[in-house]
Structure 1
Amino acid sequence: MIATGVAATARIGARGDGRGGTALPVLEGDGPLALRRTRGSGSEARVMLVGAMSGPLGGDRFAVEADVAEGARLHVGSAAATIALPGQAKGDARYDVRLTVADGGELRWLPEQLICAGGSDLYVTTRADLGANARLVLREEQVLGRVGEEPGRLTSRLTVRIAGRTVLDQELACGPGSPGGWDGPAGLAGHRAVGQLVVVRHEFGSEPVTARCLGESAVLMPLPGPAVLVTAVAPDARVLRRLLDEALGSLTPGR
């Protein structure tokens, strides 16, 4: 018998409740992707993504979709790190994230790290489509291998569109079998943790952010439109989180 992977999709829909808060008329988990609403703050609704099974494994196809309407505020996190593992099924695993935020909506997408265990092969795509006056905080953290373990293979593509205009479309490939140089000075330079932080706020349109280095292993770059990208590399997940948290604090003062 030929092993086949698991296909699963989780969907979140956030809408204003008419009383200054946020309702979640759509909250659907599927298979290994479970969703739990937790206590939010103010008008923000908070959802945790809970992995009900190990994975993604080789051959799996996971997807998460979040749709935030005008006037809604949604914060999405995860209960634990996601660990990509080799599986019995042939082929890579795929994890697709699709985010839509309407004008006047706000999304904070802050999951825990994605860890590519030795022998795994994962392709991740994240696409965010935003209205002209939408707000977004999106954090991605990827770790190559567990402690004392060779890295798995990771290909990650991140795309952000604002009012139909693409402001960011980048792809990272690293780990065994990836194009040469991924671990060299022009790539991860021996680091095993890499992260991206995208912040979209209409204030950046009138108060542009200046490109700058954030220490020795992180850089901040303004994007076309009211958006900023922070990219960082680090020896481990703990240091990476600190770098991205410090960058986020500087970009969202008083939050």
Structure 2
Amino acid sequence: MSGGLRATARIVATRDGLALLSGEGPLAPRRTRAADGGFRVTLVGAMSAPLGGDRLAVEIEVRAGARLTVDAAAATVALPGRGGGAAHYDVRLTVAAGATLRWLPGPLVSAAGSLLFLRTTAELAEDARLMLREELVLGRYGEPTGTVTSRLSARYAGVALLDQETSFGPGAPEGWDGGAVLGGHRAVGQLLCVEPGFAHDPVPVQPLGDTAVLVPLAGPAALATAVAADGLRLRHALDSADAALRRVRSGR
């Protein structure tokens, strides 16, 4: 459907600094202080988005040897537009050899009546590192969820690490809220960690409470998945996964 907002944020990090930092409309990237070295950018929502019909994009490139963290000042809320139709949010991540990216956006809340397609694509060179967090909250407090479809694809040195699609809400495949998927929970998320050392020394399977687990992937990566009653409990579960990954890396 035409007529929606079009906006793109672009970030390029090098060893020496941020070579590019630009945003449009609701996507306002701001340089902020990094706590652990490297560079940090925080995405600030300058207006309500995405609405039905909007097309938003975030493009991040981390060049050889650079370290970058990108996070968000607040949650993103997908809302229905006046004319209906779907909103699209595309995230494209490119990480060069020897570079590190931590992509840690805030939760994405699927408000009642909204329809959103979220696509995240990560392309990593050999010896690149990535920490990627995704959090979906299905409905605001006291309301039903909208419909959200998330596609996550990650490649390392040209080889696929992960390519998955999930869909929740009205119109999603039957059973999305059943015991084999959400089991009645209202928040779902994942934490993808790409670490070259995991190729020859994979992360062991680790339950993280009753509704979260950390598993190795084929290749130099591990994936934590979790469901929870709300966004706060989901963040706690994914923080536990992050801590477990830190312990694994520090012990090698």
Give the structure 2 partner of residue 6 of structure 1: 5
Among 173, 183, 198, the alignment partner of 1:189 is 183
Q: Does the aligned pair in 2 maintain the 1:156–1:172 contact within 8 Å?
A: yes
The reply to whether residue 101 of structure 1 matches residue 95 of structure 2 is yes
Query: Paired residues, what number?
Result: 249
What one-letter code is carried by the residue in structure 2 that aligns with 1:231? T
The range that moved more, 234-243 or 81-90, is 81-90
What one-letter code is carried by the residue in structure 1 that aligns with 2:224? V
Inter-partner Cα distance in structure 2 for 1:237 and 1:102: 32
CA positional deviation for 1:42: 5.0
Among 91, 97, 106, the alignment partner of 1:112 is 106
Q: TM-score, normalised by structure 1?
A: 0.94
Give the structure 2 partner of residue 48 of structure 1: 42
Give the structure 1 partner of residue 74 of structure 2: 80
Inter-partner Cα distance in structure 2 for 1:201 and 1:252: 11
Inter-partner Cα distance in structure 2 for 1:58 and 1:150: 17
Inter-partner Cα distance in structure 1 for 2:70 and 2:185: 27
CA positional deviation for 1:211: 2.2
Report the identity percentage: 57
Q: Does the aligned pair in 2 maintain the 1:4–1:89 contact within 8 Å?
A: no
CA positional deviation for 1:43: 3.5
CA positional deviation for 1:55: 1.1
Among 102, 125, 144, the alignment partner of 1:150 is 144
Where 2:240 maps in the other structure, the secondary structure is helix
Inter-partner Cα distance in structure 2 for 1:63 and 1:113: 16
Q: 1:125 to 1:3 in 2, by over 3 A?
A: closer
Q: Does the aligned pair in 1 maintain the 2:208–2:240 contact within 8 Å?
A: no
Where 1:58 maps in the other structure, the secondary structure is coil
Inter-partner Cα distance in structure 2 for 1:119 and 1:90: 9
Give the structure 2 partner of residue 63 of structure 1: 57
The reply to whether residue 91 of structure 1 matches residue 91 of structure 2 is no
Inter-partner Cα distance in structure 2 for 1:246 and 1:186: 23
CA positional deviation for 1:57: 0.2
Gaps (5+ residues) in structure 2?
none
